[in-house]
Amino acid sequence: MKPRVAYIDSLNFSSEDLEAFFDDEDYIIEPVKGIGIFEPKKWVEAFKQPLKRNIIEAKILHTSTGLELPIKRFSKSKSKQTLEFGGLHAYNDKSKLLLSTLQSIQEKIQDEVITRVDVAIDFIDKVPTRVIRALKKSRKPFQWKNSIYLKTESEKKTNYNVNIIMYQKSIKENLDINIVRLEFSFRANYLKATYRVKDLAPLYLKIQKSIKRFSGLEVEIQPL
């Protein structure tokens, strides 16, 4: 059977010199949290969520195309900043802009450490029953608002290894066709700070094997 197509929806990476990649007129970096600075309302306006306590420094990266991207420095890794590209595979113009921005700096960030990868698999109308059955062998579904989280027995609010979520993508983007997204979010404990941006190809292979182990789905991740 031909593998199902999967896409990278989010990619986060960290760097000790992250802001140097955006030192030109196409970008503006706006501090919202740091020494002597705290403007949480700006963060909520940009990203629709509050600043978490473990973020000791926060900045908004504004691009000339109108994008706003979060830059964070966490209490556990004070020497590095993390940049988040979330929503790379959506059905809107913002997604195209995000992908274009990431591709424009990809050569510069080859040696930076990947801290999170979200893989999206989209289905028309519903996720196949056989896939749900396979996921339930090791996880229990938990519904929160419009999403279903598949959680392990020991998992609490967040799984720092692999998060698995299902939700109606068509509702989020007001699409005419009913699309249900199955999303696998590979986090820090899974990545173990061993993969850099230049290692995306072997990381894809590892992730594909993990998705098959969890769900029985054989997928092929499309390169960025």
Lowest mean pLDDT segment, chosen from 15-19, 83-87, 168-172, 189-193:
168-172
Looking at residue 159, its pLDDT comes to 81
Looking at the predicted structure, is the pLDDT value of residue 174 above 90? no
| Domain boundary assignment for the chain | 1-11+112-224
Question: Any residues with CB less than 8 A from the CB of 214 and at least 6 apart, and which?
Answer: 134, 135, 138, 162, 164, 184
Band (pLDDT 50/70/90 cuts) for residue 156 is confident
Mean pLDDT value across the chain: 95
Partners of 147 in the β-ladder: 144, 167
Average pLDDT over every residue of 8-32: 96
Average pLDDT over every residue of 207-214: 98
What does DSSP assign to residue 196? B
Looking at the predicted structure, is the pLDDT value of residue 218 above 80? yes
Tens digits of residue pLDDT in 30-87: 999 999 999 999 999 999 999 999 999 999 999 999 999 999 999 999 999 999 999 9
Looking at residue 175, its pLDDT comes to 87
Looking at residue 154, its pLDDT comes to 84
Looking at residue 102, its pLDDT comes to 97
Average pLDDT over every residue of 128-139: 96
Alpha-carbon span 19 to 52, nearest angstrom: 21
Looking at domain 1-11+112-224, its CATH architecture is: 2-Layer Sandwich (3.30)
In terms of pLDDT, which residue wins out, 175 or 214? 214
Q: Which of 177, 59, 181, 180 is nearest to 118 (CA)?
A: 181
Looking at residue 191, its pLDDT comes to 97
Looking at residue 212, its pLDDT comes to 97
Q: Residue holding tokens 């990381």?
A: 203
Looking at the predicted structure, is the pLDDT value of residue 145 above 90? no
Lowest mean pLDDT segment, chosen from 26-40, 82-96, 119-133, 145-159:
145-159
Looking at residue 31, its pLDDT comes to 97
Average pLDDT over every residue of 7-36: 96
Average pLDDT over every residue of 203-212: 98
Looking at the predicted structure, is the pLDDT value of residue 220 above 90? yes
Residue 21, Cβ neighbours under 10 Å: how many? 16
